[in-house]
Structure 1
Amino acid sequence: GVGNWFCKPTEFPNGLKPVSDECHRLGMRFVVWFEPERVGLESQIAKEHMDFVFKGEHSHLFKLNDPKARRWLTDLLLQRIKEYGIDVYRNDFNIEPLHFWRKYDEPNREGMNEIRYVEGLYEMWDELRAKNPKLLIDNCASGGRRIDLEMCMRSVPLWRSDSGCSPGHIDWNHGQTCALSQYIPLHTVATWSPDPYETRSAATAGAILEWGYLEDGFPIPLAKATVAEAKENQKYWYGDFYPLTPVGNAPIEFVAWQLHRPDLDAGLVLAFRRAQCGSERLKVALAAVKADAKYSVEVINDARQKAAKTITGAELTALELEIDHKPGSLIARYSLAK
């Protein structure tokens, strides 16, 4: 693809396996980023296997519709996954494929290259997963541009949007989370600071931390607290998602959503008062709670100060949230009272 998919012998004389081994020793999983379908003009594939590509001016497109080409690429990826000890295979896709498919369609067969290509992609991923049952596929694709049902059955978009490529898109994350979470159960995006408002705005069941932790003065204690909080919230993302307010991009909005685990009868609310929001209070109606049950509620502000109370499920359907600064956020966790 864009790369050649082998290690530079000087920088990695023993390949990537030692890196993978160290990740595993530290309790982490090892991700390697591939983009095999976009073929660079000077890449090994372009030089040695031009019969495997649709030719283009600035880059080529690998022929996943060609069984012979797909076999070659699948075998290469299987070899790298095993050789490097890869736990998460990231498949990026930064190319517009349609004009390649159309250009090389046979007369009166328009659309067949596209159909066979997509079928070939599914087949290749199915084989990667079948031969590596614990493998996770990170479906990147210029940031969440391949989120059809079949792709979501096989992969997770850990990079849901290229808006995560730079800081300054905190409010956009609210809209992405509320839109995507209603039909894609798992997705993540980058956060650029351990500030509670920013990371709460981005974190879902996971978070990509683009933090400057090597910089002088980086707030390590704050970062540790932010990571711990995100991990504590993780379990709620495996339940139901309820938007509690409309969500747009306006800086005057007060937005909130609810995560609820029916199996636990517990959940949380994430609320955000944006930078120009004039209201300190927001009343929300929580879903799926039992009106006559009693719930323990813990509210956590940006300073991570906690306030606890016990109220009924009926009161949770008219819960008033207060954030006295802007931009600001809070978490309200609830569970059945013991």
Structure 2
Amino acid sequence: MDAGEQTLALTSNGGLPMVIYWGARLPDDEDLAQLAASARHDLTGGMIDQLPALTLSPESGRAFAGQPGLICAEADGTPLHPVFSFDRAEHSACSLSLICSAMGLTLAHRITAQPTGVFTLQTVLEADRDIRLHWLAAPVLPAPQAADTMIDLHGRWVREFHLNHVPWAPGIRMREARTGRSGHEHPPYLILPETGCTNTSGSAFALHYAWSGGHRMVAEELPDGRRQVQFGATTGAETQAKRRFETAELVALHSTIGLNGIAAAFQRDTRDRVVKWPNPARPRPVHYNCWEAIYFDHSLADLSDIADRAAALGAERFVLDDGWFGRRDDDTTSLGDWTIDRTKWPDGLQPLIAHVKSLGMTFGLWFEPEMVNPDSDLFRAHPDWMLGPVDQVTGRHQLVLDLSKPQVRDYLFDAVSAILAGHDIDYIKWDHNRLLPVVDAAQSHGAYDLFDRLRAAHPGVEIESCASGGGRIDAGILARTHRVWLSDCIDAEERLRMQHDAALFLPSCVTGSHVGALHSHTTGRALPMAFRAWVAAQRHFGFEMDPRKISGADAAVLSEVTAWYKANRVWMMAGTILRLDSADPTVTSEMQLAADGGRFVLFAGQNAQTVQILPRPLRLTGLDPAALYRITLRNAGDAPPQSRGPNALKNGPLTLSGRALMGQGILLPVAWPATMWVVEGERL
């Protein structure tokens, strides 16, 4: 099978199929019989007389020396060790189902070559009786042998999407997210770069498990040296004996042009296949979110004043955050009571919405439907709707509603839908601030069902996935939402790094990024407005500070950057983020390249004092070597007093070939820390 620039080739020797090739696209006339023969291993001392195959679901019943892809039992707990036989293949132009059976079990592996250039793979297990499932891996792929390290992700609240570079070694690298979300801690992504791979060159493989409810990843080097990677739902997530189980989709891709090939494919797939846009042609609107301006202190007069100022700065969508419902004066009460607080809003939300609309902005609203406070009318009426044990510890003063119960989903659908139907709202910020007290896949399936019902009932409403910031970011949730809140930290220095690393997986158009206050509410750090604004303008742009408290000079800078974002967002949001290999570790740099290659913008963020006197050249990427490009430094006025030499970009545009820009690179002016250089490029 071919998907974009990659090929997947499989064979079967009468049992479960196995991958014999995954990599760069093969010629159409490749001899597959010879390819299969070339994949046969030798044997040596200390081994059994036949090498157990590394199949799409390695079997415990075939003396396989590594982790099996299926662990199941009879309903009474008796372990099952099926040895599957290949039955048949069902295929269409772009999909393949490989079906095997044993002991009354049917195992199907479904592989689809998506038009976006990725493979999606899924495993389905069916039985002729109720059985218990402990572990089911999505179709298992071999990991590259020509690799020293793997890259997985780690994070925490206000510091998401940190890349871990982990050496390969005999044995297992196992990561399991058991918090009921894809998680800050280790979201379900893995990159497998071959030795020597950089952002702009070399070979790499990548996997993403499109599931929001917690996952398990096993990257294993077997005793014989072969390597496998398994992804599936958290072990024990299926709590009931059933006759049918399925994994989420595993997204798989290969790049021959470094990590940027991985990034480009993930970005394209998310934007063009996964997200279902209400209006794909609509430019991504500039947000204003009032959370860090007022927190729970709501009043019509204050919010109307803030809306006036936000609109004057260029905002196009006003989002009212937490605190509008129940008796919600802090985070200890009222979750679940989705009725308007008439103490704060005696005439309801309509006066604020009408004022916002009169300013030319649309209106968005915060919800956290999956949670409940013990101090709420809902919990007092339905304590049995809580998920988990009665004596559990609360999280952020919250408990979790059991979304496996149809009556809970019905209540939430009716409550949220009533607010949407009764008001002119085009956007929901959907939060999820509590870790789950138990592991249960039914909770995520219930959440998906609730999202799907609300989307069907209100197809024009966009939804943002927020989970204490970046705690639930994956293709499973993005199939039901349109934006992710990458982090509750909008300190631009932290965001510069987070956004840069998250670009390996997420496109600009779904990655919310806001301009924060002068003194960050999560780090206390003070940063200049130009830096804060340009970092936010790299992604889906907005602002969140109190506009009543910014200076005239800062307001002018913010207005200028907002206008720049509006002028460039259409091509930027449809383009590709390409990370650059910087010779200076204090510079974080990327390009955003238009889909037709005709223009780009280079962002180079100076995030610390550099060790050398003068900036090192910065090589560009993704350009046509033979074409000429005019490059212009957009913000030469941000040069510090110490920048006193004849750097050409400070004085006007340069015209250089793509080969020169990618080979020698460009020299930027000297910069203070917390400076973002913005270079615009146009193909002539």
TM-score range, shorter chain: 0.7 to 0.9
User: What SS does structure 2 have at the residue aligned with 1:303?
Assistant: helix
* Equivalent position of 1:270 in the other structure: 603
* Equivalent position of 2:445 in the other structure: 119
Task: Supply the AA of the counterpart residue of 1:284.
Answer: L
Asked if 1:142 is matched to 2:476, the reply is: no
Deviations 1:172-196 (A, max 9, x none): 2122111111211221233224721
> Does structure 2 retain, via aligned residues, the 8 Å contact 1:140–1:158?
yes
> Does structure 1 retain, via aligned residues, the 8 Å contact 2:497–2:588?
no
Asked if 1:325 is matched to 2:671, the reply is: yes
User: What SS does structure 2 have at the residue aligned with 1:143?
Assistant: coil
Using a 3 Å threshold, how does the CA distance of structure 1 residues 124 and 321 change in structure 2: closer, same or farther?
A: farther
| Shift in Å, 1:5 | 1.6
Q: Out of 642, 653, 656, which is 1:308 matched to?
A: 653
Task: Report the more deviating stretch, 298-307 or 186-195.
Answer: 298-307
* Equivalent position of 2:543 in the other structure: 209
Deviations 1:272-303 (A, max 9, x none): 22331134423233222111112222112362
Q: Out of 335, 349, 357, which is 1:24 matched to?
A: 357
| Shift in Å, 1:243 | 0.8
Asked if 1:61 is matched to 2:400, the reply is: yes
* Equivalent position of 1:234 in the other structure: 569
* Equivalent position of 1:106 in the other structure: none
Task: Report the more deviating stretch, 283-292 or 267-276.
Answer: 283-292
Task: Report the more deviating stretch, 38-47 or 226-235.
Answer: 226-235
Task: Supply the AA of the counterpart residue of 2:579.
Answer: P
Task: Supply the AA of the counterpart residue of 1:82.
Answer: A
Q: Out of 620, 623, 630, which is 1:286 matched to?
A: 620
Asked if 1:51 is matched to 2:396, the reply is: no
Q: Mind listing any 5+ residue stretches in structure 2 that lack a counterpart?
A: 1-333, 519-527, 639-649
| Shift in Å, 1:231 | 2.8
> Does structure 2 retain, via aligned residues, the 8 Å contact 1:260–1:266?
yes
> Does structure 2 retain, via aligned residues, the 8 Å contact 1:258–1:268?
yes
Aligned counterparts of 1:171 and 1:245: Cα–Cα separation in 2: 19
* Equivalent position of 2:681 in the other structure: 334
* Equivalent position of 1:177 in the other structure: 499
Q: Supply the RMSD in Å over aligned alpha carbons.
A: 2.4
Q: Out of 418, 424, 428, which is 1:85 matched to?
A: 424
> Does structure 2 retain, via aligned residues, the 8 Å contact 1:299–1:333?
yes
Using a 3 Å threshold, how does the CA distance of structure 1 residues 332 and 4 change in structure 2: closer, same or farther?
A: same
| Shift in Å, 1:78 | 0.9
| Shift in Å, 1:246 | 5.9
Asked if 1:75 is matched to 2:414, the reply is: yes
Counting helix residues as a fraction of each chain, which structure ranks higher? 1
User: What SS does structure 2 have at the residue aligned with 1:42?
Assistant: coil
Asked if 1:133 is matched to 2:133, the reply is: no
Aligned counterparts of 2:557 and 2:430: Cα–Cα separation in 1: 33
Task: Report the more deviating stretch, 173-182 or 301-310.
Answer: 301-310
Q: Could you list the runs of 4 or more consecutive aligned residues of structure 1 that deviate by over 4 angstroms after TM superposition?
A: none
Using a 3 Å threshold, how does the CA distance of structure 1 residues 81 and 241 change in structure 2: closer, same or farther?
A: same
TM-score (norm 2): 0.44
| Shift in Å, 1:3 | 5.4
Deviations 1:168-222 (A, max 9, x none): x433212211111121122123322472122222333323323342127443222
User: What SS does structure 2 have at the residue aligned with 1:74?
Assistant: helix
Aligned counterparts of 1:72 and 1:212: Cα–Cα separation in 2: 35
| Shift in Å, 1:133 | 1.4
Task: Supply the AA of the counterpart residue of 1:257.
Answer: E
* Equivalent position of 1:110 in the other structure: none
Using a 3 Å threshold, how does the CA distance of structure 1 residues 20 and 270 change in structure 2: closer, same or farther?
A: same
The percentage of aligned residue pairs carrying the same residue is 23
Aligned counterparts of 2:636 and 2:441: Cα–Cα separation in 1: 49
User: What SS does structure 2 have at the residue aligned with 1:324?
Assistant: coil
Counting strand residues as a fraction of each chain, which structure ranks higher? 2
User: What SS does structure 2 have at the residue aligned with 1:282?
Assistant: coil
Q: Mind listing any 5+ residue stretches in structure 1 that lack a counterpart?
A: 103-113
